[in-house]
Structure 1
């Protein structure tokens, strides 16, 4: 992560996940409110989407761990250098640890939605723990850095810990659309802010460098953080509005006979799932 690409790549991942969650939760909420509108309201379809999503996250987590270890200047699975008597590439190990917990969360989610032997809330609990671990490691990742460097990462912690708290509340209030949309906005904020950190700390050659000790830069970057969150909220609101409108439009255009058949099909799927 010690360069522009190292912040842009995970930032892009969180942006994609935030957009996907916004679409998924909006579609699920709108479909459940209008059960006749489409077959996506069935629980079996929702669980399939959860398994696919968790599988993709697990794959990215494994690739991330391997990349952190086996890049040309990586630790190559060596934690301690006995010749020089010091810890070896701890930054890479910290990043790999973050990926590890996201991978554990994804594996648990796959187990929850395929085997049915694990309590359903475990997927949310492990995801909340993964985000907490990410924030916990970032919090102790800033010692000895310049003022602006510390500040932009401290602002990132608000998005991370806010997301962890929101997902933890989903353990007890699963299906609450307000918590789910709040989670989406914080995930988008984390993604866009990682991009912003890349531009601040490692600006491309065509961009001017930031003065890390200028207090005005601290004030501006704090205000910029608020702008990022406002765009995240706006993005989630637009997605939710568009999907709700599309589902209602489909409901109006669906003939009554077809709506009845869809409803019957949904009930059959729910019964199969219960069995």
Structure 2
């Protein structure tokens, strides 16, 4: 990771995973809330399980790629832990990064076992995910010896996001399916990804002047910048949740009459009540369109009724 690309690549990966988790968590939560209505238009449990398997497979793949890149890229240790010719440990930074990737790959492999077999309890995947994040923070904590003040500070700030993710994942072992915990984990993952990019721009700026790595004002600025990144992550997660909610409500409004006929009276009542509550958030022009459509239908019914009465009068 001792380059801009070395921070941008894991940062991009965590940004993608955080975005995916925020979409998935929002969709699962809103699906559970509306499982009694429009079930055929929302993801089923089988679809959710397949997505979990795909997600775990992708994480395993990228973990293996990360390990290979750390070990066999230019100046990598090539699986050699100790250099006997010079009598010292070889490329320990690469070994630390490889160990981080190894734990995430192990967590994803356990998740595959959990979701494809009945050999392991369901909470085990969250336990291993929390352990992977904790191990990442643990290794980063002892990753900063002998560095400049600014370098140490930006990596210490990263630890807040990492240990926060570990704590939330451990809480999910006992509170699985909690939407708040899942969204917080998503936001912290986005925070970790964006901060990796920020570290790359600070320590290895591709363009522009170099930072003064021992300037106290720079240290103060990066703490403020970290707060901005946290605010961005929370706002972005909230926007994703709102967008997914709009999509779910739109799909529920398009529930066809055939599906409505399969619902019980109680489910129909729930559906109608929720549709009325959703109308409060609809734009005014949609409400006007609905009003005029209703008015037209009532007018047509009156015309049909009058015509039928006239026909009866003629006979």
Question: Measured at CA, do residues 259 and 68 of structure 1 come closer, stay the same or move farther in structure 2, by a change above 3 Å?
Answer: farther
Q: Distance in 2 between matches of 1:19 and 1:56?
A: 15
Q: Distance in 1 between matches of 2:235 and 2:32?
A: 23
CA drift of 1:38 comes to: 4.6
Task: Structure 1 unaligned segments of length 5 or more: list them.
Answer: 264-275
Q: Radius of gyration: which is bigger?
A: 2
- Residue of structure 2 equivalent to 1:48: 50
SS state of the match for residue 143, structure 1?
coil
Equivalent runs, 1:7-156 vs 2, <5 Å:
7-35=7-35, 36-39=37-40, 40-156=42-158
- Please give the TM-score of this superposition, normalised by the length of structure 1: 0.92
- Residue of structure 2 equivalent to 1:159: 161
SS state of the match for residue 75, structure 1?
coil
Question: Measured at CA, do residues 207 and 116 of structure 1 come closer, stay the same or move farther in structure 2, by a change above 3 Å?
Answer: same
Aligned partners of 1:163 and 1:186 also within 8 Å: yes
- Residue of structure 2 equivalent to 1:252: 253
- Residue of structure 2 equivalent to 1:266: none
Q: Distance in 1 between matches of 2:62 and 2:201?
A: 24
SS state of the match for residue 211, structure 2?
coil
Task: Structure 2 unaligned segments of length 5 or more: list them.
Answer: 265-315
Question: Measured at CA, do residues 220 and 159 of structure 1 come closer, stay the same or move farther in structure 2, by a change above 3 Å?
Answer: same
Alpha-carbon RMSD = 1.4
Higher relative contact order (CA 8 A, sep 6+): 1
- Residue of structure 1 equivalent to 2:181: 179
Aligned partners of 1:38 and 1:262 also within 8 Å: no
Aligned partners of 1:22 and 1:240 also within 8 Å: yes
- Please give the TM-score of this superposition, normalised by the length of structure 2: 0.81
Aligned partners of 2:38 and 2:259 also within 8 Å: no
